[in-house]
Structures are given as C-alpha cells and as structure tokens.
Structure 1
Amino acid sequence: MQQQLHVNDLGRTHLLGIGGVGVSAVARLLVARGVKVSGSDAKDLPVLRELNSLGATTHVGYAAENLGDADTVVISSIIKPGNPEYDEAVRRGLRIVHRSEALSAVMNGYFTVTVAGTHGKTTTSSMIAVMFREAGLSPSFAIGANVAGIGKNAELGEGRVFVAEADESDASFLNYRPDVVVITNIEADHLDHYGTKEAVYEAFHLFASLLPEDGLLVCCADDPGSMALARRIRKEREDIRVQTYGFDDAADRRITDVRTEGSTVTATLEWGSGESVELRLPVPGNHNLLNATAAFAVGVDAGLEADVAARSLGQFHGSARRFESKGDARGVRVFDDYAHHPTEVLAALKAARTVAGEGKVHVVFQPHLFSRTREFSQEFAEALSLADTAYVLDIYPAREEPIPGVTSELIVNALETSGGAVAFDDAAKQVASVAQEGDIIMTVGAGDVTELGAKIVEALNV
C-alpha cells in the first residue's frame, strides 16, 4: 500500500478540468486548506468565477504556460496524453496525481466516512453530511452534487469528521483511507473500465478491505452484492465491525411500518432487542429510506443519540439532480433526476408513482454512454415502462466514441408503454402536450437532459 499524501506535500497545485464537479470540489478544499491553487478548463463555467473569488487562479482553455510554477498537477480520468498541460507536466517531471489522491491528501488526519455503491452514494453521503451538520458537529464533505440547504458540494468544516462520496467508476476509490465504509449496493456497471462484473465486485472488496482495525463497514441487507461483501469481510477480517441495514428482517437496522404522504415518507427504524425510533423524510421513495438508514447507522455508531440522528436526517431536502423539482405549471409538476442505470431509473419512477398518486407519470430519458446502453437496453426499457409515457433521446456519449449498431432505438424497440424516440429540441413540447393536471413529468439521465426541465415548464405555460 503506497504512502498516503498529506495536503502539505502538494505545494502549488494546478488542476486540469477544474470546472468539473469533482475537481472543483477538490479545488475548494485545497484553497480552504491554504494551498495555492490554479487550474484550467475547456469551458468558461460559472464555477471558475466562484473559485477565483475564493483565491484560485483559473484559465479557460488548455495551454502549457498555464501550469506556471506548479509543483503538483491534479487530473481526472478524462485527462489524457495530448492535453498540452498534461504533456507539459510530464515533460517537467511534475508530480501528477488523480483527483481522488488529492482529495485523500485533504482528508488525511480526519475521521473519514466514505460512501460507495452503484446507486445512491451521492444521496447517502449528502444525508450523512446534513445529519452531522444538523447535530452540530461541523463536518467537512466532498460530494458529487450540491446539497439542498447548503448550496455546495464541498466544504471544510471545523469538526474531525470528513464525509466523502467514493467513486467506483474508475476504481479511484482505492486511493482513500477510510475509517467507515458504506456500501449501498453493488451491481455490474462501468464495464468500459472493469470489463466484467466480477472485476466490479472485486474492486468493492478491495475498497472495504482498506478499513483499519475496528473500522466500520455498513452494508445494505436488501442488496445481494452488498450482502455478499458483508459476509466475505466478516470471514476475512474479524477486526472489522460489520453492520447491515434495510427492509430485510435479518438486518441490524431494520425499516418497518412505512407510511407515505405526498413527497414525505415516514418509517420506524428498529434494532437490537426492542429499540426503535421514528424517521420522517421530506424526500420520497423506499430507496431514500434505505439511504437514510445507512446514514443513521453511521451517526449512531459515531456517538449520536438515535433521536438526534433521526431528527437531523429529517432536515435533508435532497441533492441537486436527485428528484429535484424544476417547477410546475398547469397543475403539472416537473422533476429532474440523475438516474443513469436501470436500477436507478426504476427507483426514480417508483418514487414518482408515489408522489403522483392518481396522476400519470411521463418521462424523458437520455441514455448515458454507448457501452451502458448496449449492456442494459432491455433493463432500461423495463424500468421506463413503469411510466405512462416514455420518450427516449439519443445517447449522450460523454467520454465514449459511438459503437456500431448501438443507438437509443435498442431501448425504444423494447418499451412496453406509450412514447418512443424523440429529438432533443422537440422533447419539451412533446411531453408537455400529453401531461394533464395532477401528472408528473420527469427528465432522467446523466447528460444534458437536465436542461429540458425549464423548457418543459415553459412549454406547459403556452
């Protein structure tokens, strides 16, 4: 195991892709820790001006001279040879670290809570941060989306706890040194990186194995992948404490007596021999009850009283692009969700069904990545068929080149509901035309489909 960097080791630090959500979070934290920070991005984004106001120096466009007198260069997985700043850093022999290594350096010395999983890690880590914050512990955090009520995705607090979302997409979570690991679920995803589902599962095992003696592993009892990991760690590492949570009767933290009213869901959490507490969340869906129960387990283990942990979680009002309200018009509510895996899409639409009540659910879905569409087209179609109407946009390529024969038609052809393929520019008007008072419209996907929310509200007003 390589020695963990400390923030004081970094020196002057230049970040490539500084406008990205993950890299900008690291930049904010580095500035807060007193590091001299600069960075570049291909686009002139509002976050660059925010970072400038904090004391960083930012550049639009990549050029070798932007490195200045940097000692360390921070990159993400999308930065490749051929980028002039990356190539210049290699030529100079500068220290080049992944974004996760820089974040790990910032977290060095804190009590670190990390949240990983194929789905739910952003929401769960946000819930943990809000819980500790509302309980008065002033945690630091770095999360993949802005947290409602806080308005940012990274902050350096005054307490000893650091909460971090741990990204498994490129196995970079193996650069962390956690004291607590939460595994929300494990499924085959990011096969463009891993190749096989077995490799995905092994990466999560390696991540959990990073826990120190007396570290805590929290696993979802309702997810087969997560539970398989819990059983394996229990056999291999008797020095690690393992807790499970979920609706399953065998879970250490059990969810019972669920009641839903509009966007609010209430349940009883039970554990031990008769202990219980009521949990009331202002965000819908059983998946959010699971996320909150994982957060509750972390909080109680860290010393919070059960009622304080539950009450603090009740102050969580969501994360950006996680069932986020985009407005309403004509009695139709519009929401946006980042879901980009079939399990996530299904959970989002189940939550929408609950919120809609007697109303209908209409969805505009944008597939993300050609490889993911190829692997899960049938599963996407099955999940989308829960909606009354499902419109499917062209695939958002992100980091990938097209794959011959792989288009959104693979999903459209398998749909078992009304709707079908729709062009991006026509989607807002089309979905608005079918919605009636009391219905819900959702834009779903990890790409620029999020831009349609405001356009749909506008189309509803016509």
Structure 2
Amino acid sequence: MSTTTSHTANIRYTNIYFLGIGGIGMSALARYFKAMGKMVAGYDKTKTDLTQTLDDLDIEIHYTDSVANIPKNYFNHHNTLVVYTPALPKDSRELAYFKNNGFDVLKRSEVLGLITKNTFSLAVAGTHGKTTTTSILGHLLRFCEVKLTAFLGGISENYNSNLILNGDEVSVIEADEFDRSFLTLSPDIACITSMDADHLDIYGSKEALHESFNDFAKRLKPEGVFFVKNGLPIDGLTYGVEDNSDYTAQNVTIKQGSYHFDLKTPQETYAGFTFSLPGRHNLSNATVALAMALKQGCNPEDLKKALADFKGVQRRFSYQIKTDDLVYIDDYAHHPEEINAVHQAVREMYPDTSVTVVFQPHLFSRTKDFGQEFADSLSKFDDILLLDIYPAREMPIEGVDSNWLLEMIINPNKKVINKSDLVEEIKATKNKVILSLGAGDIGEQVKQIKKGLLNEN
C-alpha cells in the first residue's frame, strides 16, 4: 500500500478485538487491520476455513464466549477498539463485559464508515447481488490500477481473499441492509441491485425495508452518482440486461459457457465484452459494476480484459465438479429470489438435464416469512433434498422446520435428510447436475460432497 494515512486516520487504537471474527465481513476487516500493523484477536463460536485463514495470519482466535479467554493485551480500554457483528447473540458475555467497562464498542458497519470516510468510496447495496457485484467491481478497478481497498462479502477466486489491498485512495464496500448497517456510509458512487423483501425480523415489513433503501440513497455525497436496477421504485441511473436502461448489456449470446455482449451507455456503445459467470442475474451485476467503473474513470478496453479475467466468487455458482458426466455447483442462495436466479442459470447452461438441489434453509424467521415462496422455487428442480434449518442467531419457532417446508413443495421427488447421509442421498437421485444451496454451514460440507461424488477416500 502507498500510505495508510487516509484509511486509518480515524482509527487511533493499537489493538482491535472482534466478536464474531469468523464472519465473512468481519474477517475482511480483521485482515485489513492486520495488514495495517494493528494487533488483532477475536472470538467466534465455530472453527471454519475462514477462521483458519486468520489463524494462518497469526490472529489469535478462541471459540468459547468467556471473558477469561480474552487475551490480556486487550483489557486496556484506552488502546483497544471492540468490533462486533449484529448477528452476535444479545446475551454475549464478552460483549457485555466490553460495554460495561468503558471500551469503545462499534458495529462492523460503523468501523467501515470510519475507514472509508476520507476516501473516494463506491458502495454496492441490495438484498441480493451485493457480493458478486462488489467482487467484480473490486477486480475491475484493481485491474485498471486504481489505488483501492475493497472489502468483499465473499472469497474472490481471483485473489483467494475477501480483501483486495492496492492502495488507500478509493474504497469499494458492500452496503449491508441488515440491521440498517448501510446508513453509516456516505458513498461517492453507489448502486442498488435489488429490494426484495428480506430481514423482516429486523424491518417488520417490505415498506420499512424500502424506506431504509431510500434513506441509503440520501446518504450519497452531493455530487455522487447513483445506479439502480431497472424497475426498482427508486430514482437513479438505470441498468439492466437487454432492456431500455441507461446502461444495458445487449446483443447477448452464449458461447462455450460464457456470455458475450455489448455495453450500451448514455454516451456510446462498447462492443466485445466476455463474462463467464452463469445467470442473467450475474450478467446484470457485471453491467452495473462496469457502469460504476466507467464513472470511476476506467478505460473501456481495460475493462473488457478485466471482465474476461474475472473468475468468480466462492459459493456464488461455484463449479466444484465440471465433467461431461457430472456437474456439481455450490451457491450461497438463501432467499427464494436467489434460488430462482440459480434455477434460471442452471437451466440456461444445462437445458434438458435433470437437476438435484440440496437446500439448507437459513433462519427460522426467514423460512416462516417466505415458506410458500421457498416451496415454489424449490419445486422447479427435479429432485429436492432438504437439510434441517440453520438457526444462526435465532431460537426455534414452533411448527416451523424443514418437514413443514417439505409439505408445501409440490414436486413429489422430495426428502428431508441428515448431513451424515448427504452423499448417499445425492447419488440415489442419479442426476447429472447437483446443486448445494444455503447460507448456513452447508458450505462446510462442500469438500465432503465433492469427494463423495468423485468416489475419493
């Protein structure tokens, strides 16, 4: 990095302690502060591949919520900043200790706001598409040699990281609507990819969620540029795929599993783009990332090379096996609209091929709020295997479980299964294309599924 002044001017602490350090957004911040020369440690309830990558960076992590486990260097409230995720349980012992003993305790989004305050920032908001769009945008700007730091909500295949460090003049960030976190940001360029109802446990209604996105739009700096997906009930420069948007991908064709298209802008049309991530939703994400990069000043010819070089994001239509006889794809989809988007992509790429979906519902409240929508989207696949609901931060809701969801699925080829039987149940469907979907710990099962399907020991 060139310098660290503009990024860290608002962070005076030598020690940064994370509660929920294994979260995808939290771990990106932990990596960032470690790179800035800070002392970093934290707690998470579960060991994962993400916590292992932090451990490899000599970041100290423990897995029991106990004040006794906090490293002694972090007990001085004058030089320790505590960062926590809103997904942390309300009865967290460590969080209570820090709050009751004079420590500065900030949400992840508030820290992002401080870090990016003195930079030119590009923010990506939306109930779906944030991570892919942010990752494409970060990659485009990095390829164009912009001096940037990008905080990603997923692991970029190009960088094998959720953090892109190439300077401190520009910030690229996911603007997360959960817990209204994105209202701590003040971007120069921003977009909204989608506004489907979600997080109703936080917002209560779709109208309240929309109001929050409107509030986010008002956070834009006075001379800022704002993009919205065509059709959303909010003002801005529009983008889309083969429509009448201000910025649109047109003349779209598919060759050898990749999209080829031209980008029409209000000024002119740039021909000859290639993009290898399947699904019209991903092509839409690429379109707005290109629009934002153009506004940032990137050269269109450089953007063509950069987009063709984009390898994707882990758990976003990620190919685990891709042979003539067997295809296994893993995806983070955990909302009915995301499942619909994955279904569209897989049918476009593999027409007339039977597909098995393994789905782990995420949150009791989301499953309850969208039970019928989940059932409708899952029914479109040829065989449906359901795991138990991943509770995350929630307690069970009486009457809401995977068997309840299974009853609503109209496709007769359906079953609730145990994790221990995953591979055998998948094989029993005898389908060529396999999907694993969900935002819980199903991601930790991917290696096991892959090995099982390939008959490896």
* Separation (CA, whole Å) in 2 of partners of 1:142 and 1:315: 20
Q: What is aligned with 2:435?
A: 442
CA change 1:63–1:369 in 2 (3 A) is: closer
Q: What is aligned with 1:151?
A: 160
Q: What is aligned with 1:229?
A: 234
Q: Are 2:42 and 1:39 equivalent residues in the alignment?
A: yes
CA change 1:433–1:452 in 2 (3 A) is: farther
Q: Amino acid of the residue matched to residue 302 of structure 1? A: Q
Range 289-298 or range 271-280, more displaced: 271-280
Range 345-354 or range 449-458, more displaced: 449-458
Q: What is aligned with 1:17?
A: 20
Q: Which runs of 4+ in 1 moved over 6 A?
A: none
Q: Are 2:99 and 1:90 equivalent residues in the alignment?
A: yes
Q: Deviations over 1:197-245 (max 9, x none)?
A: 1110011111111011110111111xx3xx3112xxxxxxxxxxx3210
Q: CA deviation at 1:329?
A: 6.9
Checking the alignment, whether the CA contact within 8 Å between 1:140 and 1:158 is kept in structure 2 is yes
Of 28, 32, 43, the residue aligned with 2:31 is 28
Q: Amino acid of the residue matched to residue 176 of structure 2? A: D
Q: Are 2:382 and 1:406 equivalent residues in the alignment?
A: no
Checking the alignment, whether the CA contact within 8 Å between 1:191 and 1:197 is kept in structure 2 is yes
Q: CA deviation at 1:386?
A: 2.2
CA change 1:279–1:54 in 2 (3 A) is: same
Q: What is aligned with 2:424?
A: 429
Checking the alignment, whether the CA contact within 8 Å between 1:142 and 1:153 is kept in structure 2 is yes
Q: CA deviation at 1:328?
A: 5.0
Query: What is the number of residues matched between the two proteins?
Result: 442
Q: CA deviation at 1:411?
A: 3.1
* Separation (CA, whole Å) in 2 of partners of 1:166 and 1:366: 25
Q: Amino acid of the residue matched to residue 203 of structure 1? A: S
Q: CA deviation at 1:281?
A: 0.6
Checking the alignment, whether the CA contact within 8 Å between 1:443 and 1:449 is kept in structure 2 is yes
* Separation (CA, whole Å) in 2 of partners of 1:448 and 1:159: 34
TM-score (norm 1): 0.89
* Separation (CA, whole Å) in 1 of partners of 2:51 and 2:446: 24
Range 348-357 or range 414-423, more displaced: 414-423
TM-score (norm 2): 0.90
The 5-angstrom pairing of residues 209-248 of structure 1 reads 209-221=218-230, 224=231, 227-230=232-235, 242-247=236-241
Q: CA deviation at 1:13?
A: 2.1
Q: Are 2:81 and 1:78 equivalent residues in the alignment?
A: no
Q: CA deviation at 1:19?
A: 2.1
Q: Are 2:295 and 1:301 equivalent residues in the alignment?
A: yes
Q: Are 2:380 and 1:386 equivalent residues in the alignment?
A: yes
Gaps of 5+ in 1: 231-241
The 5-angstrom pairing of residues 241-320 of structure 1 reads 242-247=236-241, 249-272=243-266, 274-320=268-314
Q: CA deviation at 1:447?
A: 1.3
Q: Deviations over 1:151-207 (max 9, x none)?
A: 000133225221111111111111112111110010110001111111100111111
* Separation (CA, whole Å) in 2 of partners of 1:406 and 1:40: 30
Checking the alignment, whether the CA contact within 8 Å between 1:38 and 1:57 is kept in structure 2 is yes
Checking the alignment, whether the CA contact within 8 Å between 1:262 and 1:355 is kept in structure 2 is no
Q: CA deviation at 1:103?
A: 1.9
3-state SS, counterpart of residue 185 of structure 1? coil
Q: CA deviation at 1:37?
A: 2.4
Q: Are 2:360 and 1:360 equivalent residues in the alignment?
A: no
Q: What is aligned with 1:236?
A: none
The 5-angstrom pairing of residues 81-230 of structure 1 reads 81-158=90-167, 160-221=169-230, 224=231, 227-230=232-235
Q: What is aligned with 2:4?
A: none
Gaps of 5+ in 2: 1-6
Alignment RMSD: 2.2
* Separation (CA, whole Å) in 2 of partners of 1:194 and 1:300: 34
Q: Amino acid of the residue matched to residue 215 of structure 1? A: G
**Sequence identity (%):** 34
* Separation (CA, whole Å) in 1 of partners of 2:268 and 2:45: 56
Q: CA deviation at 1:47?
A: 4.3
Checking the alignment, whether the CA contact within 8 Å between 1:252 and 1:271 is kept in structure 2 is yes
3-state SS, counterpart of residue 161 of structure 2? coil
Q: CA deviation at 1:50?
A: 4.0
Q: CA deviation at 1:251?
A: 0.7
Q: What is aligned with 2:316?
A: 322
3-state SS, counterpart of residue 178 of structure 2? coil
CA change 1:152–1:364 in 2 (3 A) is: same
